[in-house]
Structure 1
């Protein structure tokens, strides 16, 4: 669970800006939590998680009825296979090449014979043979064009497969980040509409500390400085420390107070921190 520790409290600091900055009673709050919605209208067929489950990024959390989407995907796959076969079938092109070669050879031999013996081949016959050659050339061009169209059709069908797969994916709800499922907001076998929240997930592994400091004394030089958060945790109010560093110093000053907003992030070791906890933050040299 990633939390936000808002520190708008008293800051105990030495006169030197390089000295440790101590903030008491720092509050721990969630920083990243998402209500995941349904993407498509339909029946929510099942949840694959329950409250309290720790999930990984991209883990499947819930499914909606995808029978029609899956059928469309299957049809798109078959159409893509047909288009692939056609795009790789160059039989017509090779046949046209052979036919052209034969026609050209026949015309050439006849033309040479007519030159040797004027009466052996009539002009009409030579014209017909020449026409056959031209027809063979056009047939070759048509075969080449058909093959180019087949390859383009394959690309179109491939995009159709991707589109169909996306529609299937829209029926699946996946975790956007590693975190904990804290609330199921509907039940399996209920109808859901697009945008309707179905579950809530919170990030656990990092916390954020936000503090307002004197803008006249502190600035960008704080970025990267190590921090330590000390919190009393149950049982027995045992004190536990969490390490981190300053990750952001705002370039803006608050116009009324002259304070600057500073963030530090700490690692929630073993997921011990909970929202609402309070502790002491120290920004070190």
Structure 2
């Protein structure tokens, strides 16, 4: 199975919500076009940053169509997570009809899932897919943590093309060992992608194939610089560029990456000031001011 879509930088844009509660289609299309023009390797529509869990299935189908239409040929990976397998399958069908190059699935649930239930979810979904699938391990959101055994089981399912891991250890040797271990247990065609932007550079340097990035969905330039440096074997340069963005990573840790990146998009004039789906609220007052200050200090406000 070929997996070129699941390498390099995958940028995850917001799905801005207008004042009337509907998708702000103009702002969303603008974000997608910005990513395509920047030269990202793929676009991750309707990820956690894209607020998929707060949207109806018709809204998600519309967002998938908009993303593919405005991506200018850049592959689009569409999030299909939902509480019921029935709705995951419907979202997958809509994504495929929209022209998605792949889908992204986290084991979302209200009741805690068992390992067998998570495997069954991926087994059911991959049996109905005609495009590749990214396994999304996001324990902070789903409250479910994959074991290596489960990675190996799911990785052998048809259509599984990549695993999006929550990060790598901070110690470089431990990071190398972790990625090497994943290589051992996953089929050769399944790529390993890192998320958690503060450890993105470390993941690429340790041998991850892809970086699934929140920041790149609004600020593709600096994240592309890190990615291309790591891909070229210039680890020191990649680490230096990542360290430069540490004030942004610290804001992510303090307020959550979604709220911070929504404030970044608003500060840059890419979205309205309050574009998150209720009950989520955008940063305001001093908190928003901190974001604006970091953008100015890092010269990211242009």
TM-score, with structure 2 as normaliser: 0.17
More strand by share: 1
- Ranked by relative contact order (alpha carbons within 8 Å, sequence separation 6 or more), the top structure is 1
TM-score, with structure 1 as normaliser: 0.18
More helix by share: 2
